[in-house]
Amino acid sequence: MSDNVGFAVVGVGLVGPTHARFIHAAEGAELKVICDLREDRGKPLAEKYGAEWLTDFREVMKRPDIQVVNICLPTALHLEVATAAAEAGKHVIVEKPIELNLDRASKLIAVCRRNGVKLASIFNRRFVFGTRRAHDAVHNGELGRLVVADMFFKSWRTQEYYTESGWRGTWGKEGGASLINQGVHGVDLMTWIAGPVKRVQGYARHLRHDIEADDTTIAVCEYESGALGVIESTTSVYPRQPDRIELNGEKGTIVIEDYKIAKWEVDGVELGEPSAAELARPGADRGTAVGHFLQIQDMVYAIRERRDPVIKGEDALPSLAVIQAIYEAERTGQPVEVRQPATV
């Protein structure tokens, strides 16, 4: 009998196929089931990987050959499906954002903990050379104390992207729009690299799309370290501009553009370069997709080694706390203190 870890991907719209591809590529992993309500999405993908196509996620949870469920569904469904998985003893990999808000995210984390299953939260953009190198430069002191930490994520989505999905752009099913869907990647990187955000002031408006929630969000942040910075997240800027992060410390400046180091001016410190092994990893040819591969592979090793995944459920809370605070700042017109994970 094979001792491979059996996986199911639930939801194969935009991002689910990436999970399927990397489960197929991962050592010790076997893709058993693709679950999607839509035949045109689920069936061909299942056939491509020799997996079975199911439409009801409850059926997935009954399968003894599945140990891990990858949740790639609209955000408001993450809690329900993760609960079903955890209660059936399946480990969970959940796409970003983990859920609509901190309360639902905390429930999702708690149900996994209660049932003793592992929970990995996807933040694939932490795994490329540029973001990791910047993180290390801040955390090992190469950049000195941070003074300014900024993120500019100015992207473009069509009106159809929102209208045809049936869930994007709505408070009820997406929990927001540009900031919580696209911006969450950048906010995660900022809290990971620059540390906890203490307080925010901001605006979250829709300026170009006919949607309920934000397509243009701009906030000012005060980090717990004392550093200041801005968070900009849009789906209203045409054409899309490279995702940019700027870090200004006492000893220099680092600028990241589309996850590559665009500027490295750090006193007396060499940038270095990614290793050959790193460049040869599945997904490395597609930039930040390598993170999906590494997080899926990591789940297999975490199961074998009886340890937590490299990015756990709790690690999704700091960015969600900042996002929730920015939306509250828009609603109240006041600066908002960020709820820190320990108090979630």
User: Interface with ligand NAD includes 165 (CB under 6 A)?
Assistant: yes
Strands 5-10 and 228-234: unpaired
Rounded Cα gap, residues 318 and 341, in angstroms: 6
Whether the CB-CB separation of 201 and 229 falls below 8 Å is answered with: no
Min separation Cβ 176 and ligand NAD, Å: 11
Picking from 50, 51, 88, the residue whose alpha carbon sits closest to that of residue 67 is: 88
Min separation Cβ 180 and ligand NAD, Å: 8
User: Interface with ligand NAD includes 57 (CB under 6 A)?
Assistant: yes
Whether the CB-CB separation of 110 and 174 falls below 8 Å is answered with: no
Whether the CB-CB separation of 107 and 114 falls below 8 Å is answered with: no
**Is the backbone peptide bond immediately before 239 cis, with ω within 30 degrees of 0?**
yes
Q: Give phi and psi for 147, each to the nearest 5.
A: -110, -45
Site for ligand NAD in 169-188 (CB under 6 A): 181
Rounded Cα gap, residues 247 and 225, in angstroms: 13
Min separation Cβ 1 and ligand NAD, Å: 29
Number of residues that bind ligand NAD (CB under 6 A): 24
Whether the CB-CB separation of 235 and 214 falls below 8 Å is answered with: no
Count of helices and strands (H, E) across the chain: 13, 14
Which position among 8, 26, 29, 35 is part of the footprint of ligand NAD (CB under 6 A)? 35
**Tokens describing residue 287:** 């930039």
User: Interface with ligand NAD includes 74 (CB under 6 A)?
Assistant: yes
User: Interface with ligand NAD includes 36 (CB under 6 A)?
Assistant: yes
User: Interface with ligand NAD includes 253 (CB under 6 A)?
Assistant: no
User: Interface with ligand NAD includes 38 (CB under 6 A)?
Assistant: yes
Min separation Cβ 65 and ligand NAD, Å: 19
Site for ligand NAD in 95-114 (CB under 6 A): 95-96
Min separation Cβ 95 and ligand NAD, Å: 3
User: Interface with ligand NAD includes 213 (CB under 6 A)?
Assistant: no
Residue nearest to ligand NAD (CB): 13
User: Interface with ligand NAD includes 195 (CB under 6 A)?
Assistant: no
- In the shown chain, the binding pattern of residues 14 to 33 toward ligand NAD, with x for contact by CB under 6 A and - for none, equals xxx-----------------
Site for ligand NAD in 114-143 (CB under 6 A): 122, 124
Min separation Cβ 291 and ligand NAD, Å: 8
User: Interface with ligand NAD includes 44 (CB under 6 A)?
Assistant: no
Rounded Cα gap, residues 295 and 311, in angstroms: 8
3-state helix, strand and coil shares in percent for the chain, rounded to the nearest 5? 40, 25, 35
Q: Which residues bind ligand NAD (CB under 6 A)?
A: 10-16, 35-38, 41, 57, 72-75, 77, 95-96, 122, 124, 165, 181
